[in-house]
């Protein structure tokens, strides 16, 4: 059955929605696309974003309630260490403050993860003067449970995750494993109580197939590429992600925030546009998938538009696959 969807913010191009409920209201933290002249290449240079806006849903129904743009919440010119490319961010709340985690290339073109702090969910966010110690790569997601915050991150190819092994940059510049080896994993790390640094060494997010074997590099229909998200449903932990060059959003289920996670299936089949990215949130007694596509820009990869639709679970806890091209 076709799933009805809504374009959330036709007034501007935005992508990579991270969505949370703060104080009973649903806030969207997207990337802010624009028509940069940067080249379209395998490094993702065309995603040349310079600022973030925060949006909120002003009512009970993401499919119909008005969407408010709270304006510029963080600008790259105010981030002392950043060079270019503000990619997917996420926000967490603790003790009266909101913490935005965001990847950007530093002045030597290496992706690092920064923190910016606000008094309100919509910002403005004030960046710290340096990125988090030991941080690397892209696409952050924060999951909170029992007062502990877990940061998921990473993305291969332009996201530079292949440049790291055991959390250290490799001399050779990259560590793509052989086709029959386990694929490069996303990372998860608990944040320190002050939310400003890692509390531990990042760990691999291990994805297993139905036989309990790690998903391999060759299995690019199922292996992790970028765009981590973590949510909890009926006591289980759902790690979801993009498969990148095979253009699906997939998910795997585990028993705790660190995993391992066992692959279960597709959440979303390919959309119009190269990238696919999402978040999953419960709001108003229903579950929602927020994502993006490039239909309104007629397929221009760098100009993406935010979309939402309802997400449905089967009785066994699996997720019903949604067609990326459903309108
Ligand atoms: O928006 C830039 C990058 O494109 C994101 O970080 C990836 O997840 C992909 O959506």
Q: In the structure, which protein residues have their CB atom closer than 6 angstroms to any atom of ligand 1? A: 15-16, 31, 44, 47, 87-88, 138-139, 155, 226-227, 275, 277
**What is the pLDDT, as a whole number, of residue 327?**
77
- CA 158, CA 274: separation in Å to the nearest integer? 13
b/e code 281-298 from CB counts within 10 Å (16+ = b):
bebeeebbbbbbbbbbbe
Say yes or no to pLDDT of 171 above 90.
Answer: no
Question: Would you state the pLDDT for residue 207?
Answer: 98
Mutation pick for ligand 1 pocket among 30, 87, 268 (CB with most ligand atoms within 8 Å):
87
In this structure, are residues 150 and 164 in contact, taking their beta carbons and an 8 Å threshold? no
**Residue labelled with tokens 């679970």:** 313
- Is this structure's pTM higher than 0.85? yes
Q: What is the pLDDT of residue 79?
A: 98
- Closest residue (by CA) to atom 2 of ligand 1? 87
State whether the Cα torsion 109-111-115-118 is positive or negative. Answer: positive
139 — pLDDT class (breaks 50, 70, 90): very high
Give the three-class secondary structure for 141.
Answer: strand
Residue range 260-297, pLDDT digits in tens: 999 999 999 999 999 999 999 999 999 999 999 999 99
d(CA 169, CA 172): 9
**Are the C-beta atoms of residues 156 and 184 closer than 8 Å to each other?**
yes
Ligand 1 midpoint to CA 254 (Å): 25
| Atom number, ligand 1, closest to the C-alpha of residue 138 | 6
Query: Domains, the chain, ranges and CATH?
Result: 6-311 (2.115.10.20)
Query: Using CB atoms within 10 A of its CB, is residue 52 exposed (0-12), middle (13-18) or buried (19+)?
Result: buried
- Using CA positions, which residue lies closest to atom 8 of ligand 1? 227
Catalytically active residues are 16, 226
Look at ligand 1, atom 3, and give the residue with the nearest C-alpha.
87
Residue of 227, 243, 270, 276 to mutate, ligand 1, most atoms within 8 A of C-beta: 227
pLDDT tops 80 at residue 1:
no
Residues whose CB is less than 8 angstroms from the CB of residue 45 and which lie 6 or more positions away in sequence, other chains included: 38, 39, 85, 158
Give me the torsion for CA of 126, 131, 135, 136, rounded to 10°: 100
CB 161 within 8 A of CB 170: no
């Amino acid at each position: 059955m076709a799933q009805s969807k809504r374009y959330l913010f036709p007034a501007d191009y935005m992508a990579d929605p991270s969505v949370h409920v703060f104080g009973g209201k649903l806030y969207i933290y997207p990337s802010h696309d624009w028509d940069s002249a940067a080249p379209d290449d395998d490094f993702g240079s065309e995603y040349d974003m310079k600022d973030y806006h925060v949006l909120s849903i002003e009512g009970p129904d993401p499919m119909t309630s008005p969407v408010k743009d709270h304006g510029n919440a963080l600008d790259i010119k105010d981030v002392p260490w950043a060079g270019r490319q503000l990619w997917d961010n996420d926000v967490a709340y603790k003790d009266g403050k909101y913490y935005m985690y965001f990847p950007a290339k530093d002045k030597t073109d290496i992706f690092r993860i920064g923190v910016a702090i606000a008094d309100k969910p919509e910002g403005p966010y004030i960046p710290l003067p340096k990125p988090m110690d030991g941080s690397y790569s892209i696409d952050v997601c924060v999951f909170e449970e029992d007062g502990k915050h877990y940061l998921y991150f990473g993305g291969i190819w332009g996201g530079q995750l292949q440049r790291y092994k055991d959390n250290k940059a490799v001399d050779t510049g990259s560590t793509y494993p052989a086709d029959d080896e386990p694929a490069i994993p996303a990372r998860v790390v608990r944040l320190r109580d002050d939310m400003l640094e890692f509390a531990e060494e990042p760990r691999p997010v291990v994805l297993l197939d139905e036989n309990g074997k790690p998903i391999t590099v060759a299995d690019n229909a199922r292996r992790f590429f970028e765009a981590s998200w973590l949510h909890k449903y009926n006591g289980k932990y759902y790690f979801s992600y993009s498969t990148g060059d095979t253009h699906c959003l997939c998910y795997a289920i585990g028993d705790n925030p660190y995993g391992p996670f066992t692959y279960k299936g597709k959440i979303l089949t390919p959309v119009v546009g190269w990238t696919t990215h999402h978040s999953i949130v419960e709001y108003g007694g229903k579950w929602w998938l927020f994502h993006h596509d490039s239909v309104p820009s007629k397929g221009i990869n760098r100009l993406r538009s935010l979309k939402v639709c309802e997400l449905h679970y089967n009785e066994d806890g699996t997720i019903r696959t949604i067609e990326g091209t459903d309108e």
